[in-house]
Amino acid sequence: MPTSDTTNRRDLRRPISRNLRCATQPCPEFAHWEFSSRKEYDDHVRRVREWSCLKHEHPEKVLSPARLRIEWLSEPCEPSAKYPTIPRTTLFWGNTGFLHGDGYYAYADDFPVGTRIRVTAEVILPPLAPQTTTDGQPEPAGGNSGVPKGRE
């Protein structure tokens, strides 16, 4: 009887997993990979001996409570001789004629030579949580003057 289940025995095996902690200790970040064969796992172990989280590899690019805004500015777009088979009038920002990220796409050919793209990432923190008293009751309207209860 034919079945729609085309899963073979290989698919039923559990993947081989590997976790590496960030090389900067005692950082708690870790990376997790899964491999479908021992060969893939062994190749990965040979290639990747150490791993660092982005906070330690590129701290200047990580948003944090101390760094709420980061800007990145592209190179000016210009024709490139890097790709001889592409018409010389095609524009590139560095080695690409197309930039994209969350919320935008940009084709270099849509802009004049020399155009740059500035990407800004900014953290918008939530409004402060309502203040509560030490017994968990909402603080009266007008807020806390900073004086602990019972000392007014």
Query: Hey, how many other C-beta atoms are within 10 angstroms of the C-beta on 31?
Result: 13
Least separation in angstroms between residue 57's CB and Zn ion is 8
Strand extents, DSSP E, the chain: 16-21, 30-35, 69-73, 78-79, 91-92, 98-101, 104-107, 118-122
Q: What angle do CA 85, 89, 90 make, to 5 degrees?
A: 70
Tell me if 40 contacts Zn ion by CB under 5 A: no
Least separation in angstroms between residue 31's CB and Zn ion is 10
Segment 68 to 97, residues that bind Zn ion, using CB under 5 A: none
Q: Which region, judged by CB under 5 A, interacts with Zn ion, from 6-14, 45-53, 122-130, 139-147?
A: 45-53
User: Which residue of 15, 27, 116, 131 would you call a contact of Zn ion, by CB under 5 A?
Assistant: 27
Least separation in angstroms between residue 21's CB and Zn ion is 8
Structural tokens at position 28:
């708690």
Residues contributing to the site for Zn ion (CB under 5 A): 22, 24, 27, 29, 53, 55-56
